[in-house]
């Protein structure tokens, strides 16, 4: 790993296909495997090749709406054979967190979908629907676009009475087939504004989710695969494991270049085909950083790119120049023209 005093300064190379270098892929779902319920291009074939080669595939999602059985069934329908044990959700992580703080069998007010209810039952807790049901905790998770507004009021009544409040995750947005939609974090903000309280959060990028994932998969050499810097990649950083960012979801080139250390992935690729290949090295060349046919330099006020070749190699070189210049902060240099050259 090319690090300077613990700070990643460039994407890492790999002489082996990533599916051989790591024993388990911890894959995000929304924006990585599918969007709006439909498989993302190349996802199904890439995952089949990785699995056939011996890599275990585990699906780790902050979306608490559906049960692991439902997620596994959806993936299987898409052509990705999956069992419920291969799915880890933020609902499971938050249910474990709650179970460690309330009595066995305690009532928990649920603001969300069936995934939360199933996870609470798995931990021996009792889901309830009203603040007047004497809950020992309130848990909030993504409930889908049709979640009634009154559910937020129910959570607020309980939280204002002093009931401990938990959230599966705080992702502000979620990818859909029509674009980017409000996520559970936006719903959490509604209750926060109404109550002034702060929830305990379990999902990525926080430790409870990483703990849940390792407990359930037993991975020795995991690779986190995701599309979000502030959940997937930061979660890998917090867990001390490597990560692959794919550009099929919410993160664009400009956000990647500006990433602070905790948001810098180990590897960058266009989509899940990146699991099946090695990763090119980024090397120092004079005042610049070179990858493939591209050389990137951090100039006075902007990132400069010269050369030609694969656009992803140019992005990797730009990342190296930007992250080196930024050190422990976020790169403020203008990379718009360089990214435009790459079509990113």
Which helix (H) or strand (E) covers residue 326, if one does?
Answer: helix 311-326
- Residue 133 annotated among the catalytic residues of the structure: no
The residue behind tokens 């179970």 is: 99
3-state secondary structure of 66: coil
Q: Phi-psi bin for 88: left (phi > 0), alpha (psi -120 to 50), beta? A: beta
Of 28, 86, 171, 227, the catalytic one is: 28
Which helix (H) or strand (E) covers residue 35, if one does?
Answer: strand 34-35
The residue behind tokens 């329908």 is: 77
Closest CA to 203 of 166, 229, 173: 166
Q: What are phi and psi of 83, to 5 degrees?
A: -105, 160
As a whole number of angstroms, the distance between CA 208 and CA 179 comes to 29
Closest CA to 265 of 299, 285, 236, 296: 236
DSSP, residue by residue, 140-209: E----TT--THHHHHHHHHHHTT--EEES---SEEEETTEEEE-HHHHHHHHHHHH----EE-STTSHHH
- Residue 230 annotated among the catalytic residues of the structure: no
Of 30, 86, 171, 242, the catalytic one is: 30
C-alpha distances out from residue 335 to 75, 339, 344, Å: 37, 6, 11
As a whole number of angstroms, the distance between CA 296 and CA 287 comes to 9
Q: What residues are labeled active site?
A: 28, 30
């Amino acid at each position: 790993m090319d690090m300077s005093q613990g700070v990643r300064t460039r994407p890492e190379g790999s002489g082996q296909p990533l599916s051989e270098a790591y024993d388990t892929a911890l894959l995000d779902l929304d924006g990585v495997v599918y969007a709006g319920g439909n498989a993302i291009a190349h996802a199904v074939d890439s995952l089949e090749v990785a699995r056939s080669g011996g890599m275990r595939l585990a699906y780790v999602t902050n979306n608490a709406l559906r049960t692991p059985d439902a997620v596994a069934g959806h993936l299987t329908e898409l052509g990705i054979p999956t069992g419920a044990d291969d799915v880890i959700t933020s609902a499971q992580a938050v249910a474990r967190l709650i179970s460690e703080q309330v009595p066995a069998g305690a009532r928990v007010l649920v603001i969300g979908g069936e995934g939360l209810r199933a996870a609470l039952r798995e931990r021996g807790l009792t889901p309830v629907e009203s603040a007047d049901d004497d809950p020992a905790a309130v848990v909030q998770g993504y409930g889908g676009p049709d979640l009634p507004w009154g559910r937020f009021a129910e959570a607020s009544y309980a939280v204002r009475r002093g009931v401990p409040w938990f959230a599966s995750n705080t992702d502000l947005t979620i990818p859909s087939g029509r674009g980017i939609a409000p996520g559970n974090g936006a719903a959490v903000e509604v209750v926060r504004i109404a109550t002034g309280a702060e929830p305990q959060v379990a999902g990525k990028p926080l430790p409870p989710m990483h703990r849940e994932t390792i407990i359930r998969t037993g991975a020795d050499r995991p690779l986190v695969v995701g599309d979000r810097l502030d959940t997937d990649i930061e979660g890998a950083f917090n867990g001390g494991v490597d990560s692959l960012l794919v550009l099929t979801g919410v993160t664009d080139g400009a956000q990647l270049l500006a990433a602070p250390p905790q948001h810098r992935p180990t590897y960058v690729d266009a989509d899940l085909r990146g699991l099946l290949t090695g990763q090119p090295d980024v090397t120092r060349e004079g005042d610049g950083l070179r990858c493939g046919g591209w050389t990137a330099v951090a100039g006075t006020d902007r990132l400069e790119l010269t050369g030609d070749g694969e656009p992803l190699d140019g992005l990797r070189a730009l990342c190296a120049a930007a992250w080196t210049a930024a050190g422990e902060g976020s790169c403020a240099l203008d990379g718009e023209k360089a990214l435009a050259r790459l079509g990113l």
